[in-house]
Amino acid sequence: MLLQRLKELKIIPVIRSDQDVEAERACDWLLEAGLEALEITLTVPGAAGLIERLAANHPEALLGAGTVLTADDARRCIDAGAAFLVAPCAVPEVAEVAAQQKVPLMPGAGTASEVLARWRESAAVVKVFPAKLLGGPGYLKTLRSVFPEIPLMPTGGVTPETAADYLAAGALCVGMGGELAPKTALAAGNKKLVQSLARQALAAVT
């Protein structure tokens, strides 16, 4: 069910900020602009509390926790309402909690060997990170050619202009962070810019 919804939504905004107020503002703006999923990274102060508030205020949204690196953080985010967990790499203790709680895990990988290893470790989706630096859509297309059965989510440097290229290359969905909610825009309270970027991204993949 998660895979089908991710495929339909296509874009997963990745919320990364060192200011909790700015992070929450970004979430509200992006949801208002029409996006329906959010990955709240644990680099956001009070991330679990933010997930809990979003779950209460936006029950229709698909919420996940990102940069999950410990078992305690995994449990805390699941209790707060996270429907999926994301990690930048293999984290066995997080994988164990995800399996116990039956919550999908999306761990990161860069090489073909890592992609296969994460898949064999029961990843629901493998996060290809950092996608742009690894080679962009062309690299993802190559991975898909040898691993057609593995759902891949490229993240890192994906922009509104390149999102459709990643999907055409075989991505299940794409993760987009500062490309949707630039730090400068959040600090300045520039709602218009953030929502314009969100709508541009949605239009590109529709």
Q: What are the residue numbers of the active site?
A: 39, 127
How many residues can be counted in the chain? 206
- Assign 87 to helix, strand or coil: strand
Assess whether the previous peptide bond of 130 is cis (omega < 30° from 0).
yes
DSSP string, 100-147: HHT--EEEEE-SHHHHHHHHHTT-SSEEETTHHHHTHHHHHHHHHHH-
Task: Using alpha carbons, select from 9, 45, 4 the residue that is nearest to residue 175.
Answer: 9
- Tokens 């993949």, residue located: 205
Cβ 140 vs Cβ 128: under 8 Å = yes
- Tokens 């039956």, residue located: 102
DSSP string, 14-41: EE--S-HHHHHHHHHHHHHTT--EEEEE
